[in-house]
Amino acid sequence: MEIEEVSSFEALPLLSLNHISLLCRSVCDSVRFYEDVLGFALIKRPSSFNFNGAWLYNYGIGIHLIENPSLDEYDATGYEPRPINPKDNHISFQCTDVGLVKRRLQEMGMRYVTAVVEEAGVKVDQVFFHDPDGYMIEICNCDKIPILPLSGSASSCFKPMRMGSSFEKGAMASTKCGFMERVMMESLSLDMMNFSF
């Protein structure tokens, strides 16, 4: 049996993140949360589905909800709510004003925790909270930290840049990237900047 090194394979021809799929106890409650708190909009989903669910879209990604009423009850009456742990699995959204996010969450009576990440004198503010089913959501201003590929990384087809800065004309022309890789990185940059309250 011959073993090939991973680096000898080309990456899959991916374009972008399309959607995340989440199980929920109540489609109605989850739709209300993703619309009212995070600004997603309901979109049509295939009529051939024979299960209860909903599709939402904004910021260049979709959220597909699938109803499963038998999910564990984290917040059932008489029990402590699930702790908010920033090291838990989570979905993260870029925003323009973390202070405004915190004020809005306070106005809605939502529990949240904050954290600050510091790298080379740059501070990133993070806010973590749960959706109705206990999925962790992070809102941050992570554009302050540059995206720097590690030496020898497969992602050598883009140049280090700060999210939020515009691509310089021809900045990626000297790399080995193809058209789709450039489109993907430009789309990612724009999508990351578009989340605002």
Task: Determine which one of 5, 138, 181, 186 is catalytic.
Answer: 138
The burial of 96, by beta-carbon neighbours within 10 Å (0-12 exposed, 13-18 middle, 19 or more buried), is given as middle
- Please name each of the domains of the chain with its CATH number: 17-72 (3.10.180.10), 81-145 (3.10.180.10), 147-197 (no CATH)
Name 28's Cβ contacts closer than 8 Å, sequence gap at least 6: none
Active site residue 138: yes
Averaged pLDDT, 1-19: 74
What pLDDT, in 10s, does the model give residues 11-58?
A: 888 888 899 999 999 999 999 999 999 999 999 999 999 999 999 999
96, 119 in Cβ contact below 8 A? Answer: no
Q: Categorise residue 110: left if φ over 0, alpha if ψ from -120 to 50, beta otherwise.
A: beta
**Looking at residue 8, what is its pLDDT?**
63
Considering only 6-10, 107-111, 143-147, which range has the smallest mean pLDDT?
6-10
Buried residues in 28-47 as b, exposed as e (16+ CB within 10 A): eebbebbeebbebeeeeeee
> What is the C-alpha separation between 34 and 177, in angstroms, rounded?
35
pTM, 2 dp: 0.69
What pLDDT, in 10s, does the model give residues 181-195?
A: 555 556 555 555 554
**Looking at residue 165, what is its pLDDT?**
41
Q: How confident is the model at residue 144 (pLDDT cuts 50, 70, 90)?
A: confident
pLDDT at 172 over 70: no
